[in-house]
Amino acid sequence: MYQSSGKVYPRDVRGLYARLRVAAVLVLLGLFYGLPWIRIGETPLVLFDLPARRFHVFGLTIVPQDFYLLSALLLAAALTLFFFTTLAGRLWCGYACPQTVWTEAFLWIERAIEGDRHARMKLDRGPWHAQKILRKGTKHLLWALFGLYTGLSFVAYFVPARELFADAAHFTLGGWSLFWVLFYGFATWGNAGFLREQVCKYMCPYARFQSAMFDRDTLIIAYDEKRGEPRKGIFKKLMQQRAPTAAAILAGERAENEAELAPLKQGDCIDCSMCVQACPVGIDIRNGLQYECIACAACIDACNEVMDQVGKPRSLIRYSSARHDAGGGFHIFRGRMIGYGLVWMAVLAATAWLIIVRSPFDLDVVRDRKQLYRELADGRIENVYSVKISNKDTRTRQYSVLARFDDGSAVELEPENLTAAPGEHISTTVTARAHGAHPTVAKLHFVVTADDAKQSRRERVATFLSDGRDHGDEDEDAEEHEGGASRRH
């Protein structure tokens, strides 16, 4: 259930995990904004061409007939998420989720304009004045421009980037392109600028079912309670509770009480709340594992920095596991991990195999059912077929068509060469004429070869109908007739 809470002002921290997070953000943003501009020849590296029903993904063109391949890719992506979640927890949420990535980018802009955590809090609490209006207006202007560019880049995965940005630069963008640019630009501005942690807490389903993929050996971010407690604030309260009253001192009970009480040692946690201030979702990791935690490790960097300042060992907050916190060890290779790993590798191998053996064109041969067969004047038998070719390549291709019977005898085809443009589906009427004796229903093997570098081939089997009689070659019949006539003379 939704619970209203105050605005979260994440503190900027420095450390190993902060550097990893920045690197991940830069790489992912670079890929997102850069991929639509990369081209292989005349085809974008990534383009989901919905009107043409063709998806171009890293040189691979997927057409509706290849949606089984798209399903395999999605299954491989899902298993990758499950595998690494079981291994190391919510790595996706902390380092690669779009909500995390764009929120981090928006926070960079916010810190550059409004200052650090305390400056932002002071600015929000203060009255409206010219300086506040200027800072807030500049921030939202930069957010809006960044969101608009994000919307344009997103639509560039569906409309070629050069055309889209050229239209946007000349203010001629319209129709659905304009709608989706504004829609995703506004969604980016709202989600990364305002909703932020609310998306992770209440809108994202992953946080709800992640526990199904966790076990006692999954890496989580945890607070070392044995080492940290009693923290500084609690320690002072405990010491105050142990302090004897004046009446007890006058009654001579002080020494007896001191002897009965066990010695109390303060934990390493100084109760500075830096881990809470650094958390982008505003939780206290010292309260244990919570579903809101996105495993960004900002609390680890904040705590390590404080430990360095007070001269105490690092890793008061660290990556751990439920088993390790209970006194056991780390177990990476376990039944669930091995099972996920084997299934994951099998799906990856199957997907790679499907990509490798995938043909750049589809072939279908259908016999014309309007007529059984036709006997020509020279005695040959003719059947008519519809040869359908779908060119899934990005270039115009030539295709040669051959046909043979089971015994290897060739068949004369007309036409023998076909042409299909990129993405074109052609259906051509092809006649097959045969000599000799064949069964009334024979198998005819069609072989179509493309003119690409691999000489890709596809084969289909169709039926060839005849009357079962021997239909010899016309020239051979003529020679035999002339030979018989000369012998009679």
Q: What is the pLDDT of residue 392?
A: 83
Could you tell me if 442 and 405 are in contact, meaning their C-beta atoms sit under 8 angstroms apart?
Answer: yes
* β-pair type (220-223, 417-420): unpaired
Mean pLDDT of the 388-393 span: 88
Q: What is the pLDDT of residue 118?
A: 95
Where are the extended beta strands (E) located within 149-276?
220-223
Could you tell me if 376 and 433 are in contact, meaning their C-beta atoms sit under 8 angstroms apart?
Answer: yes
Mean pLDDT of the 125-152 span: 96
Asked if the model's pLDDT at residue 436 lies above 60, the reply is yes
Asked if the model's pLDDT at residue 424 lies above 70, the reply is yes
Question: What region, left, alpha or beta, does residue 109 occupy, with left being phi > 0 and alpha being psi -120 to 50 degrees?
Answer: alpha
Q: Taking all residues of the chain, what is their mean pLDDT, rounded to a whole number?
A: 86
Structure tokens at 46: 């990534």
Could you tell me the pLDDT band of residue 484, with boundaries at 50, 70 and 90?
very low
Q: What is the pLDDT of residue 473?
A: 53
Sign of CA dihedral 389, 393, 398, 404: negative
Could you tell me if 362 and 399 are in contact, meaning their C-beta atoms sit under 8 angstroms apart?
Answer: no
Q: What is the pLDDT of residue 178?
A: 95
Spatial neighbors of 425 by CB under 8 A, at least 6 apart, are 388, 389, 390, 391
| Short-list 394, 398, 399, 431, CA closest to 412 | 431
Which DSSP state fits 375?
A: E
Longest dimension (CA), the chain: 158
Could you tell me if 471 and 437 are in contact, meaning their C-beta atoms sit under 8 angstroms apart?
Answer: yes
pLDDT tens digit sequence for 210-243: 777 888 888 999 999 999 988 877 767 777 676 6
Q: What is the pLDDT of residue 193?
A: 94
Structure tokens at 383: 């059947």
pLDDT tens digit sequence for 454-476: 788 899 999 998 877 765 554 44
Could you tell me the pLDDT band of residue 483, with boundaries at 50, 70 and 90?
very low
- Lowest-pLDDT choice from 11-25, 302-316, 380-394: 380-394
Spatial neighbors of 380 by CB under 8 A, at least 6 apart, are 412, 433, 434, 435, 471, 474
pLDDT tens digit sequence for 202-218: 888 887 777 778 888 88
Q: Distance (Å, rounded) from C-alpha 238 to C-alpha 230?
A: 9
Asked if the model's pLDDT at residue 95 lies above 90, the reply is yes
pLDDT tens digit sequence for 150-174: 999 999 999 999 999 999 999 999 8
Which DSSP state fits 160?
A: -
Hey, how many other C-beta atoms are within 10 angstroms of the C-beta on 46? 17
What stretch of H or E contains 171?
Answer: none
Asked if the model's pLDDT at residue 6 lies above 90, the reply is no
Which DSSP state fits 410?
A: B
**In terms of C-beta distances under 8 Å and separation of at least 24 residues, what long-range contacts does 252-259 make, across chains too?**
none
| Short-list 196, 340, 362, CA closest to 282 | 196
Residues 176-204: b if buried by 16+ CB within 10 A, e if exposed: ebeebbeebbebbbebbbebbbbbbbeee
